[in-house]
């Protein structure tokens, strides 16, 4: 029997960064590991700042054939030459977004720990559904996406599933058989050597 494929890495930017200094760090990670997708996830609502970051990251990502999606800002996808959008509202506006962007761009949805929201997003045309946080976190309302949700999804639903939020070596090892992607961000950017930190999480997949 062929071994099941390992989950792929979906990289998330820090919520705030200077594109000039972050660019080389990002390039180093992309050159050290195989990355399936990059998500620009900035806390800032300053359009110029977000656009400048997107321009910088797009050049780095596209030079390595890594697609770049952006959190929430549907209106910037086409304008900035990005590959898609990541919706954080459980996919409630996904049909509208899909109509707006067309069939080609990536449209994903974060659905917290809600199987119901995940199914709804899938039916509305999501390319992937993300659940999380999968580790313990004091953020949000404290709810956690349990392994049972991933096990059910991977068995019953064909749409790729992404595990994200508060990942560590133990969580990665536990979820490897039942998720398609790990979305990793602050887990590595808070470390001095982001490439090495990502390498430890990848190694935990076995």
How far is it, in rounded angstroms, from Cα 204 to Cα 3?
A: 16
> Token pair of 57, please?
């990251």
pLDDT digits (tens, 9 = 90+) for 170-202: 999 999 999 999 999 999 999 999 999 999 999
- Is 206 within the bounds of a domain? no
pTM to 2 decimals?
0.96
pLDDT of residue 148: 98
197 assigned to some structural domain: no
Distance from C-alpha of 115 to C-alpha of 118, rounded to nearest angstrom: 5
Kindly state whether residue 90 falls inside one of the protein's structural domains: yes
Query: Element (H or E) spanning 79, and its range?
Result: helix 74-79
* Residue 65 in domain: yes
Task: Name, in order, each residue with C-beta under 8 angstroms of 106's C-beta and a sequence gap of 6 or more.
Answer: 37, 67, 69, 83, 84, 85, 127, 128
Does 1 reside within a domain?
A: no
Q: Which pLDDT value is given to residue 125? A: 96
> Residue 116 is part of a domain; what is its CATH number?
3.20.20.70
pLDDT at 1 over 50: no
* Residue 147 pLDDT greater than 90, yes or no: yes
Q: Which domain holds residue 105?
A: 8-190
Tell which phi-psi region holds residue 63, choosing left (phi > 0), alpha (psi between -120 and 50) or beta. alpha
Residue 103 has pLDDT above 90, yes or no: yes
> Count of domains in the chain?
1
Q: What pLDDT score was predicted for residue 26? A: 98
Give me the pLDDT at residue 3, please: 54
Query: Which residue shows structure tokens 């979305």?
Result: 183
Residue 196 counted as domain residue: no
Q: What is the pLDDT of residues 10-44, one digit of tens each?
A: 999 999 999 999 999 999 999 999 999 999 999 99
């Amino acid at each position: 029997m062929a071994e099941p494929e390992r989950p792929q890495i979906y990289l998330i930017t820090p919520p705030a960064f200077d594109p000039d200094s972050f660019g080389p760090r990002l390039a180093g990670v992309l050159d050290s590991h195989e990355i399936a997708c990059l998500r620009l996830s900035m806390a800032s609502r300053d359009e110029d700042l977000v656009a400048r970051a997107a321009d910088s990251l797009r050049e780095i990502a596209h030079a390595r054939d890594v697609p770049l999606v952006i959190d929430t800002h549907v209106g910037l996808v086409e304008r900035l030459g990005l590959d898609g959008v990541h919706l954080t509202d459980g996919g409630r506006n996904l049909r509208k977004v899909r109509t707006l962007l067309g069939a080609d761009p990536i449209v994903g949805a974060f659905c917290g720990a809600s199987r119901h929201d995940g199914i709804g997003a899938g039916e509305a045309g999501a390319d992937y559904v993300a659940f999380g946080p999968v580790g313990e976190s004091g953020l949000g309302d404290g709810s956690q996406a349990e392994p049972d949700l991933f096990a059910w999804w991977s068995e019953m639903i064909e749409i790729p599933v992404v595990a994200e939020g508060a990942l560590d070596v133990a969580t990665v090892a536990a979820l490897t058989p039942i998720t398609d992607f790990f979305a990793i961000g602050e887990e590595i950017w808070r470390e001095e050597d982001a490439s090495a930190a990502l390498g430890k999480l990848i190694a935990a997949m076995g």
